[in-house]
Chain A
Amino acid sequence: MKKRYLIILIVLGLLLLTTIEAQKKLFPDVTITAFCDAGHNALPFEWYAPEFEKVGIKIKLITAPFANVYEKLKTEFVAGTGAYDVIVFFPLYLGEFAGMGYLKPLDEYAKKYNPRMDDVAKAFAKLYCYYGGKLYTLPYDGDVLSLYYRKDLFNNPEEKAKFKALYKRELRPPVTWDELIDVAKFFTRKKGEKLAGKVLTEDFYGYAFIAQRGSFAYAWWLAEFASRGGRYFDENMKPMINSPAGVTALQRIVDVMPYCPPDVLSYGYEELKDALILGRIAMCLQWPCNWKKGNDPAQSKIVGNVGITHVPGIIKDGKLVFRAPMPCGRVLAVSAASRNPEAAYYVAKVLSYDKSLADVSTPKTGLDPFRISHFNNPKAFAEFAPESEAKEYLSALRKNLTYGYPDLNLPGSAEYIDVLEIYLGKAYTKEMTPKAALDAAAAEWEKITERLGRANQIKIYKDLLQSWKEAGILE
């Protein structure tokens, strides 16, 4: 008799165990195809794949080159095959993707798995995630430009003395755009000259920027344009990029080019980052990830000397006015054609919230902070840098974010920006004067607006302006 009871107990026990195992799995063994731009920002999908498997989600990762993300996604959306479930893209395309119905609204799922949108910095939340009042994306990477500079060079007593003698003022990271030219010129030295007490083994330059079309090059022009009060369009969708503010901003870049490396016109993200952290330039505007990488001994030659501050601006009515462009950025969304939207959302939420601190603080990715909880956690960023420096870094980011300037998030944004970058390029190569280039770009913009339907664009742009106001980033 006892033996039989024992057997029954064992069987029951085993059954219980299996149900417990099954309960751990939130999802019934689904495969979620994730799409992300290739390279370091796709790594988290690989890192957490084992953990996702434990809850029943198998991750299949598809990547595409950075410059082809738009085409790949758009092609898939038009084809509507449901090949991608969770996707990573640049918020620049949110207007178009959400407007065309390619994305699944996430409000429902957010109630079930809370993504803590209240913890997301207001600027990012407003600009990246909502469209037409609905939640469509969760933030993944918060981008804002800051001014980076070589601390060791700017703090060097010899250089300070030299600068003061030449320019009759203290050497400091440029606070205004006029100052930028002076400082860039000052630090441009040839091989063999001295810099901060050492003899240079190759040429050194004061400044550099991104010029490559398709790599958000326009943001480097936007920085001064916005600080001078520039806007993409007026309320009737008339382009304002060729206003005096725009021309001055473009002229500035043309003027600073002699103090940039000779190959600066081919610079994309990689090249600009390397120019700074491999020690070829004194300063530049760059994304937050540059700080992480600059302090990583495995990648950088300037560890400990990565200075970061707010972008240059202009003096208006005695006050300093600056605007930090927020180009790129990344968000996670669920494709409307996905066959497993809830599981896809789950993946997005984990990456946007649970794992986000780890991801944004490691130099292995290019992901940057976007949550208030990130900004309040300098310890997490102190893997290779002292905590005081991490604090400085986070506060600089917050400062720039407070005065952030958004990407143009309209239908056809990819086209508008591409045209602008083509003409910026023509001014860089001196094929056209800044005024002629911007006038031509503005004329093209008008044509695009006409083609896409002016009335509709005006309406959407008005909504956009409203949301920017609410985000507190437009005066």
Chain B
Amino acid sequence: MKEESLNVIVGKKRFARWMALPPVLILVALVVGPLGFLLYSSFFDWTLTIPAPPKFVWFKNYVEVFKDIRFWNALKNTVLLMILGIITQSILGLILALLLNREFKLKKVAITILALPIMITPVVIGFNWRIIYHEHFGPLNYIIRLLRLGSGASWIADPKLALISIFIVDTWQWTPFVTLILLAGLQSIPRQVYEASNVDGATSWQIFRRVTLPLLRPMFVLVVLFRTIWIFKIFDPVFILTGGGPGTATETLSLYTYINGFKLWRIGYTSTLAVFQLIIMNIVATIFVRKFMRRGSK
């Protein structure tokens, strides 16, 4: 009330600082330590499997990364998963969103069931698909044989198939996420837009292409953003399902970093790999901000 209004209305800047500084400080503190460690140790040859002290080696680790076939293989696997994943999940997600964007009974139930894969623990998903993918006792191959679509495949042991198997699991888990976002977008398109186009005599397909899709563009941006981040860091399902195998067929960047860190204990090299990933993702982040977020209230 009027007496309370005598309380100074704090200036914008002070209030902002008062609200945002503590969390930002905490965040910066949490980042500075590890980041410093990464940068510093990346210049050392430091292994914990032998009792030798760390050795300063300038940029030797960085050069080694460039020459490391396994690193490029891991990068290739990760990028493949990203491209395949984003394209497939976007298309599939769109189809599902369109299907859900109608009126029908049990709509709520359908959406709830569809939202489940997103919430399940990735470790659980890894185990579960291990059983499903089992060559002999797994339901997938059984159904394939039942439908006479073939004699079943070696989903996890065949190096040509293993990455696809990971891709399938990832698609199963995250297409619903894409669907939900696109559905929200579809639902926010006002009816008048459709009605106006109908009056103009446009066909369904034309409406879809010229009106719906462009209006969904911001949603697609979101989708691509999240999927890019999340596929790049994929770890749990790969760790449980294939462990990077067979051979190195499903070794992703995260897994390769983990192996160098906690199996080979090459601390220096692991940090170098980490720095590489940071640089890559920073470039991607910059591209994103420049290209897609121009229209934002930045």
Contact = CB atoms under 8 A, between A and B. Distances in A.
Interface residues of B, number: 24
Given A262-B154, A265-B154, A425 B247 contact: yes
Contacts of A418: 263
Nearest to A415: B264
Contacts of A387: none
B47 interface: yes
Contact of B157 (A71, A265, A412, A453): A265
Interface string A400-423: 000000000001101100100010
Contact of A422 (B45, B51, B154, B247): B247
Interface of A is mostly: helix
A412 B264 CA distance: 8
B245 A452 contact: no
A214 B243 contact: yes
Contacts of B50: 99-100, 411-412, 452-453, 456
Interface string A121-138: 000000000000000000
Contacts of B243: 67, 213-214
A67 B157 CA distance: 16
B52 A453 contact: yes
A70 interface: yes
B48 interface: yes
A313 to B, nearest CB: 29
A263 B154 contact: yes
A422 B135 contact: no
Interface in B20-59: 45, 47-52
A451 B49 CA distance: 11
B117 interface: no
A451 B243 CA distance: 25
A96 B49 contact: yes
Interface in B124-181: 135-136, 154, 156-159
A99 B49 CA distance: 9
A451 B47 contact: yes
Nearest to A452: B50
A451 B55 CA distance: 11
Contact of B159 (A70, A411, A429, A456): A429
Interface of B is mostly: loop
B245 A431 contact: no
A81 interface: no
Contact of A213 (B135, B245, B262, B265): B245
B158 A74 contact: no
A435 interface: no
B246 interface: yes
Interface in B234-293: 243, 245-248, 262-266
B154 A71 contact: no
Given A213-B246, A425-B246, A429-B159, A99 B136 contact: no
A452 B266 CA distance: 10
Given A213-B245, A422-B248, A266 B265 contact: no
A78 B47 CA distance: 12
B51 A99 contact: yes
B135 A263 contact: yes
A71 B260 CA distance: 11
A14 B244 CA distance: 64
Given A213-B246, A418-B263, A429-B246, A452 B49 contact: yes
Contacts of B263: 70-71, 414-415, 418
Nearest to B154: A263
A451 B61 CA distance: 12
A212 B154 CA distance: 13
Contacts of A263: 135-136, 154, 157
A262 B48 CA distance: 40
A266 B51 contact: no
Nearest to B246: A425
A415 B246 contact: no
A242 B191 CA distance: 72
Nearest to B158: A265
A462 interface: no
A266 B48 contact: no
A429 B159 CA distance: 8
B31 to A, nearest CB: 22
A23 interface: no
A429 B154 contact: no
A105 to B, nearest CB: 17
B48 to A, nearest CB: 6
B247 A266 contact: no
Contacts of A151: none
Closest 5 CB pairs of A and B: A266-B157, A263-B135, A265-B157, A425-B247, A71-B262
20 contacts: A74-B262, A78-B265, A96-B49, A100-B48, A211-B246, A212-B246, A262-B154, A263-B136, A265-B154, A265-B157, A266-B154, A411-B49, A425-B159, A425-B246, A425-B247, A429-B158, A431-B247, A451-B266, A452-B49, A456-B50
Interface of B: 45, 47-52, 135-136, 154, 156-159, 243, 245-248, 262-266
Given A211-B246, A266-B135, A425-B159, 15 more contacts: A74-B48, A99-B50, A100-B48, A100-B50, A212-B246, A263-B154, A265-B157, A266-B156, A266-B157, A415-B49, A415-B263, A429-B246, A451-B47, A451-B266, A453-B50
